[in-house]
């Protein structure tokens, strides 16, 4: 490990210095070792670093090439460069004190000329990652396959009109799944980047959705065959790169999984920026997943309200994160999932230090939201308000409604003979927003 220490020579392991600190390279809220309710903050929050953004992101956009140059991006051949890059990545994971990381197959290992060659490259880098995981204690949150960058996937992978492409994608996911298993991944993500369409004029929507279901069933079968115990996760996104993506949001994902008998095998990886692209709040997507017992993990980032695409920014919006954290804590925490920073530096953020600053801000914002949400829930006012708002369903005819013991006929009689006109009861939104504000600033 000595040699790999050299990649960030001027940056020491980030320390927790408390809210009063003015050191930009210190945590002010995230104290990984602090024990809360018998668990460290690191164990509660399970932060994860996204390899694709932090170690493959170049700052390139549709209007210009990359701006970000990293000193470790050199070596005699692509596989050696990939290994050096991974050394740098694990040094970063340790210094930023993230217990987990996440990757796509092609982020960590270069695509070869054939599938067999790509698999050999992947094996070499998975071996390398195993060594680094063992040496550093950093674990894998989840793995996934990149089924959207290569030209062969231009019309989708599992939903491609050409069965040959479907077969290729199946082979690639088989390998990615086995690689995730070798690295002890807590989960495996399916993000359907191009599983959708550009125009319905060339698309048989029904067949494509059935093909996607067949693909996911094959994944379930293969996981069983190899004894992979990680959680399968669907990551919904409504659009981009396609005009319409089939896993549009959590609700449509649940309908899809139930329709095809897959609901027992999957949970959701909810991404902030995907929620807002679908016209929802982050909190909404989390609530829907929790309502069905299907919240699996979080891709932590933020969009820009003025830009209509997945800008994948680091979020420092503590109010939005607190609104997300409240239902997560009510549900008992993030479980085997984590908060994975699927977020990238802005194109002009070219300093090595910027990578640290970005994650420090994201981690501090989540840590603060975690503390505020814990405090708010412990105070009990939000829960008390909700309990009281629905109290009429706890007894009498309200309870009969919930138990489905009454129908229209009985309720009609009841209103005509006894209840009459309901009284208006305030929804108290302003009171609740002020309450939230009082927890955010005290």
CB closer to ligand XLS, 102 vs 328 = 102
Rounded CA separation 179/120 (Å): 11
Q: Min. distance of Cβ 235 from ligand XLS in angstroms?
A: 5
Query: Of these, 46, 85, 97, 237, which contacts ligand XLS (CB under 6 A)?
Result: 237
- The DSSP letter of residue 315 is P
Interface residue with ligand XLS among 191, 246, 339, 366 (CB under 6 A) is: 191
**DSSP state, residue 60:** -
Beta strand pairing call for 100-104 and 139-144: parallel
C-beta of 32 vs 236, nearer to Ni ion: 236
Binding mask 128-147 for ligand XLS (x = CB under 6 A): ----------------x---
Residue 271 binds ligand XLS (CB under 6 A): yes
Q: CA 283 → CA 2, 13, 55, 252, 364, distances in Å?
A: 43, 32, 29, 16, 19
Catalytic residue among 107, 249, 342, 364: 107
Among positions 286-305, residues that touch ligand XLS (CB under 6 A) are 299
Closer CB to Ni ion, 41 or 157, in the complex:
157
Residue 221 CA neighbour count, 13 Å, CB half: 8
Strand 26-27 vs strand 244-245: parallel, antiparallel, or unpaired? Answer: unpaired
Nearest to ligand XLS of 125, 270 (CB atom): 270
Residue 189 contacts which entry, ligand XLS, Ni ion, none (Cβ below 5-8 A, type-dependent): ligand XLS
User: C-beta of 145: minimal distance to ligand XLS in Å?
Assistant: 8
Token match 């369409």: residue?
Answer: 197
DSSP, collapsed to helix, strand or coil, labels residue 140 as strand
Nearest-approach distance from CB 258 to Ni ion, in angstroms: 23
**How far is residue 3's CA from residue 89's CA, in Å, rounded to a whole number?**
13
- What residue 285 binds from ligand XLS, Ni ion, none (CB within 5 to 8 A, per partner kind)? none
Cα 312 to Cα 190: distance, rounded to the nearest angstrom: 18
> With the C-alpha atoms ordered 249, 250, 253, 255, is the resulting torsion angle positive or negative?
negative
The catalytically annotated residue of 7, 29, 44, 104 is 104
Q: Which option in ligand XLS, Ni ion, none does residue 44 bind, with CB closer than 5 to 8 A by kind?
A: none
Give the nearest distance from C-beta 44 to ligand XLS in angstroms: 22
Minimum distance from residue 241 beta carbon to ligand XLS (Å)? 9
Q: Which residues make Cβ contacts (< 8 Å) with residue 147, sequence separation at least 6? A: 153, 157, 158, 169, 172, 173, 193, 194
107 is catalytic: yes
Q: Does 310 participate in binding ligand XLS (rule CB under 6 A)?
A: yes
Contact between 42 and 29 (Cβ < 8 Å): no
CB of 224 to ligand XLS, least distance (A): 23
Asked whether position 105 contacts ligand XLS by CB under 6 A, the answer is no
To the query of whether residue 299 is one of the catalytic residues in this protein, the response is no
Number of residues that bind ligand XLS (CB under 6 A): 10
Q: Which residues in this chain contact Ni ion in the complex, by CB under 5 A?
A: 271, 299, 310, 342
Residue showing the smallest CB distance to ligand XLS in the complex? 191
Q: In this chain, which of 195, 342, 358, 359 binds ligand XLS, going by CB under 6 A?
A: 342
**Which of Ni ion, ligand XLS, none sits in contact with 144, Cβ below 5 to 8 A by type?**
ligand XLS
- Residue 257, classified by CB atoms within 10 Å of its CB into exposed (0-12), middle (13-18) or buried (19+), is buried
Site for ligand XLS in 55-94 (CB under 6 A): none
Distance set, CA 282 to CA 40, 86, 222, 359 (Å): 25, 31, 32, 19
Closest separation in Å from C-beta 386 to Ni ion: 31
Q: Say how far apart CA 361 and CA 231 lie, in whole Å.
A: 28
Residues in the chain: 442
Options 91, 107, 235, 285; binder of ligand XLS; rule CB under 6 A: 235
Place of tokens 């299907």: 294
User: Rounded CA gap, 159 and 254, in Å?
Assistant: 18
Known catalytic residues are: 104, 107
Kindly list the residues in this chain that would bind ligand XLS in the complex (CB under 6 A): 104, 144, 189, 191, 235, 237, 271, 299, 310, 342
């Amino acid at each position: 490990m000595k040699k790999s220490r050299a990649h960030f020579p001027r940056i020491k392991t980030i320390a927790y210095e408390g809210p009063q600190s003015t050191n930009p390279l210190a945590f002010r809220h995230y104290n990984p070792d602090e024990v809360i309710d018998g668990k460290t903050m690191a164990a509660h929050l399970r932060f994860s670093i996204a390899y694709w953004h932090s170690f493959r992101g170049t700052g390139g956009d549709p209007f210009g090439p990359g701006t970000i140059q990293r000193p470790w991006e050199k070596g005699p051949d692509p596989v050696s460069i990939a290994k050096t890059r991974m050394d740098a990545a694990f040094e970063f994971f340790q210094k930023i004190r993230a217990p987990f990381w996440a990757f796509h197959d092609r982020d960590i290992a270069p695509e070869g000329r054939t599938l067999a060659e790509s698999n050999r490259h992947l094996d070499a880098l998975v071996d390398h990652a195993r060594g680094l995981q063992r040496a550093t204690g950093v674990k894998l949150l989840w793995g996934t396959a990149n089924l959207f960058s290569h030209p062969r996937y231009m019309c989708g992978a599992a939903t491609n009109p050409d069965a040959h492409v479907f077969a290729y994608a199946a082979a690639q996911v088989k390998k990615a799944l086995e690689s995730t298993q070798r690295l002890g991944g807590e989960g495996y993500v399916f993000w359907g980047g191009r599983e959708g369409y550009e125009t319905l004029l060339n698309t048989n929507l029904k067949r494509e959705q059935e093909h996607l279901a067949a693909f996911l069933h094959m994944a379930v079968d293969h996981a069983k065959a190899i004894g992979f115990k990680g959680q399968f996760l669907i990551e919904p996104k409504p659009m981009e790169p396609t005009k319409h993506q089939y896993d549009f949001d959590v609700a449509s994902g649940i309908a899809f999984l139930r329709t095809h008998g897959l609901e027992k095998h999957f949970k959701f990886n909810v991404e902030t920026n995907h929620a807002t692209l679908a016209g929802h709040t982050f909190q909404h997507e989390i609530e829907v997943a929790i309502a069905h017992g299907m919240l699996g993990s979080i891709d932590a980032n933020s969009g820009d309200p003025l830009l209509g695409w997945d800008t994948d920014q680091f979020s420092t919006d503590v109010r939005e994160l607190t609104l997300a954290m409240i239902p997560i804590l009510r549900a008992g925490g993030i479980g085997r999932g984590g908060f994975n920073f699927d977020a990238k530096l802005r194109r002009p953020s070219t300093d090595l230090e910027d990578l640290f600053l970005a994650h420090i801000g994201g981690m501090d914002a989540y840590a603060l939201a975690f503390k505020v949400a814990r405090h708010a829930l412990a105070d009990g006012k939000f829960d008390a308000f909700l309990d009281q708002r629905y109290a009429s369903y706890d007894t009498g005819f309200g309870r009969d409604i919930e138990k489905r013991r009454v129908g229209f006929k009985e309720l009609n009689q009841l209103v005509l003979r006894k209840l009459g006109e309901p009284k208006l009861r305030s929804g108290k939104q302003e009171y609740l927003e002020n309450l939230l504000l009082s927890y955010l600033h005290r």
